Amino acid sequence: MKIAKNKHVLKIIIGSLSVILGLEAGLILYAFTLGGGSLRRNLDLGNKYLLEMDYAGAIQAFSKAIEIDGMSKDAYIGRGDAYKALGDYKNAWEDYEKAEELSGENTLLDEKIGRSDFRVVSTEGGVGEASVSLLGETHSYEFMTDSDGYFRETLFPETYRVHVTKENYRTAESIIPAGNGAVHAEDIHLELDRIPFTYEVLNTFMSQGYLSAASYTPDRYALIDIDKNGVPEIVFADDNEVGSGQVDSAYEVFCYDDNQGVIRSAGKLTNALRHYGIYYTESLPGLFTYDRTSGSHMDYVYEFDGSHMNWRFNSGWRRTEVDPYQYEVIYEDASGPVSEGIFDIDNYTSEYGKISPEITFEITMQGFNPQVSLTTSDIQG
């Protein structure tokens, strides 16, 4: 009786084990048919729909694959391709981004969406090292342009408010749309702002920049604030021997252009003999030179308007052939030359003084040395 009871218990245990093993086998079979096998079938189905351009069906198949295996990189890429084909770049981006996260690769967005290409330019070409801020509804970016003014990045496809800044330039703002996935924009233009004068700019010009403006390497120079605005002008002299110990000096004035931030020529003055020099006259304000040869004297007077040396008038005298000597006093402006009369030796200088330029001081020219470091102490007047 006891043995029969034990046999009955054993049958129950064996039956239970059979049920458990059967369940496990069923689970394994289920996992294979509706899990891994079904994942592959949905991936294949999604790719088939992509080829047939049935993008809605592809999205459904790839979404089913993601439900089965949320770690499937291929499922996210496939669905991203379907979204992209439908123009839904936002969902495509999110799927590609998830695929990058799962794979550990960071080139997929570049390949699928493409890099956006921008350039910041001014009238002088590309603007390097400009700060570019992009503010979108969901994404924001900060960039610096390269030396040619470009920045190339893969951007989330949405509309952005663009803010571009660079020292000495006016801030530029614009709106750029996502377009067909990659964000594209026309060149972004920056305008130069009013650039303050600095001695660094002046010293750079004196050391090398003058060669781009002057057609010669000067022999002498002087700094003078002609218009008294706090920014000095540069006077260059180019000296050439003309015989008999005389030196013919050509003078050119350079000024700072605060709109362009460069030093440029304000114009040349009529040549004069060096030992008669160059003079500042406060009444204009301006500069003048003069020639004096045997029996004549002529002033060449220029007014500075802040950017150009403008010829105003000539004044002088010349000895006539009348014996005893007499002198004709001459004045010339834009209207043409005028004789102020002929005077004897005792009176011509006072008549000339009525039309001659007022000398405030003679400018002291220094020997040109491109290595000198200029400061406010070098300014005359």
pLDDT in tens, 51-91: 999 999 999 999 999 999 999 999 999 999 999 999 898 89
DSSP annotation of 88: -
Residue 379 has pLDDT above 60, yes or no: yes
Query: Looking at residue 209, what is its pLDDT?
Result: 58
pLDDT class of 331 with cuts at 50, 70, 90:
very high
Same domain for 293 and 368: yes
The domain that contains 181 carries what CATH number?
2.60.40.1120
Residue 63 burial class via C-beta count within 10 angstroms: exposed 0-12, middle 13-18, buried 19 and up: middle
Mean of pLDDT over the chain: 86
Same domain for 273 and 350: yes
Radius of gyration of the chain (CA): 43
Cα–Cα dist 371/308, whole Å: 27
Cβ neighbours around 19 below 10 Å, total:
9
Q: Please name the helix (run of DSSP H) or strand (run of DSSP E) that holds residue 27, with its range, or none.
A: helix 2-30
Please name the residue that has the structure tokens 């949905």: 42
Same domain for 228 and 369: yes
Same domain for 155 and 262: no
Residue 95 has pLDDT above 90, yes or no: yes
Cα–Cα dist 218/369, whole Å: 9
Domain presence at residue 293: yes
- Angle at which helix 73-85 crosses helix 37-51, to 10 degrees, equals 20
The type of residue at 352 is Y
Same domain for 126 and 264: no
Domain's final residue, options 132, 157, 189? 189
Facing residues of 224 across strands? 233, 380
Q: What is the pLDDT of residues 270-293, one digit of tens each?
A: 998 888 899 999 999 999 999 988
**Phi and psi at residue 254, in whole multiples of 5°?**
-120, 140
pLDDT class of 28 with cuts at 50, 70, 90:
very low
The average pLDDT across 141-145 equals 94
Same domain for 123 and 101: no
The domain that contains 37 carries what CATH number?
1.25.40.10
CB distance 223 to 159 below 8 Å: no
Domain's final residue, options 112, 133, 162? 112
Cβ neighbours around 218 below 10 Å, total:
22
Same domain for 297 and 203: yes
Cα–Cα dist 79/58, whole Å: 7
Same domain for 135 and 164: yes
Residue 18 has pLDDT above 60, yes or no: no
pLDDT class of 192 with cuts at 50, 70, 90:
confident
Query: Looking at residue 179, what is its pLDDT?
Result: 64
Residue 16 has pLDDT above 60, yes or no: no
Please name the residue that has the structure tokens 């008038």: 313
CB distance 221 to 368 below 8 Å: yes
Query: Looking at residue 210, what is its pLDDT?
Result: 62
Query: Looking at residue 262, what is its pLDDT?
Result: 85
Residue 94 burial class via C-beta count within 10 angstroms: exposed 0-12, middle 13-18, buried 19 and up: middle
Same domain for 358 and 273: yes
Domain presence at residue 194: no
The pTM (predicted TM-score) of the whole model is: 0.56
285 preceded by cis ω (within 30°)? yes
Cα–Cα dist 211/361, whole Å: 29
Same domain for 318 and 251: yes
Domain presence at residue 67: yes
Cβ neighbours around 271 below 10 Å, total:
16
Same domain for 168 and 137: yes
Q: What is the pLDDT of residues 146-155, one digit of tens each?
A: 999 998 888 8
Q: Provide the domain limits for residue 165.
A: 116-189
pLDDT class of 191 with cuts at 50, 70, 90:
confident
Token pair listed for 350: 């006072």
Query: Looking at residue 31, what is its pLDDT?
Result: 39
Q: What is the pLDDT of residues 30-44, one digit of tens each?
A: 433 444 579 999 999
Token pair listed for 333: 């402006």
Cα–Cα dist 66/82, whole Å: 14
Query: Looking at residue 123, what is its pLDDT?
Result: 80
Domain's final residue, options 112, 139, 161? 112
Q: What is the pLDDT of residues 226-250, one digit of tens each?
A: 999 999 999 999 999 887 778 899 9
Cα–Cα dist 195/261, whole Å: 5
Query: Looking at residue 180, what is its pLDDT?
Result: 61
Residue 27 has pLDDT above 80, yes or no: no
Residue 339 has pLDDT above 60, yes or no: yes
DSSP annotation of 210: G
Domain presence at residue 304: yes
Closest to 261 in 3D by CA, of 218, 291, 231, 283: 231
Same domain for 357 and 208: yes
Which stretches within 197-307 are classed as H helix?
Answer: 199-207
Q: How many separate domains does the chain show?
A: 3
